[in-house]
Amino acid sequence: MKNLIITMLAGALMMGFATEVAMANESGPKVKAKRFIVIDDATGAVLYEKKSTERCAVASTQKLLTALCVSEAGLNNTVYVKHSDTTVEPSKIYIRSGEKYSRGELVKALLVKSGNDAARALARDVAGSEAKFSKVMNAKAKSLGMNDSHFKNPHGLTVTGQYSTARDIAILARSVTRNKTLAAHMKLKGYYFTPPGRKKRWLSNTNKLLKSVSYCTGMKTGTTRASGRCLVCSGELGGRKVIVVCLGSDSQNIWKDSEKLLRWALEGAGKPAIQR
């Protein structure tokens, strides 16, 4: 048992997290998600986890990395939409060929409404193509310590050889929370998006916890057949901030799973503990 604990702590330290680890079968709530992790945002301490290093599809949660990469490339540049940007499915904000936006406008829509067309347009604008942008994503992921991830597109639609883990997504999420612009976008319950020459449209945030949990501060949803229902969420209460990553849940349980873990971490007994 001592050797097991030492191995776990070493792994947590290598991943950039603090050494406190709570095993998933110990004191936390029972959830349906196949994989999850809860971390303290300030310290990186792992509060609770299950199969958090298991590689899997993570769907649109990887748009957090897309947004971070675009933000670091500059949000004021003008994006000219091409037809190829608009052909991606299924989640779209319905930008049109020939329209122009700032990168910042599209990043905002990406984080709130999860538009795959916005992701494709941004990737092409920043790097020239999705394939080249994926290299930017992987370089950034590596620099963050996301050692069990490989990305092939900016939107998270399923493709062979693309994967991450709950732990790596938590590392990513922790970095994103430190970007003030992205953090402000993610906590919006919705906003009016105005395409050039067209009527403004209300874009509702895909993260339902923003409405059901008063101290939820946002983050990102994701869904594909390969990934199941996924959610990265964050919250702040009483001066503490936590991040929850749930991967591989289902439509009936993803919101319950995430809310249980968020409330446990901030309202309940969610303090770092070592299995004994």
Active site residues per annotation:
60, 63, 114
Handedness of CA 165, 46, 144, 239 (dihedral sign): positive
Which residues, other chains included, contact 8 with Cβ-Cβ below 8 Å and sequence gap of 6+? 21
Q: Give the separation between CA 168 and CA 54, rounded to whole angstroms.
A: 10
- Spatial contact of 28 and 258, defined as CB atoms under 8 Å apart: no
Q: Give the separation between CA 276 and CA 266, rounded to whole angstroms.
A: 23
Q: Give the separation between CA 237 and CA 114, rounded to whole angstroms.
A: 26
Which residues, other chains included, contact 229 with Cβ-Cβ below 8 Å and sequence gap of 6+? 222, 223, 246, 248, 249, 250, 251, 253, 254
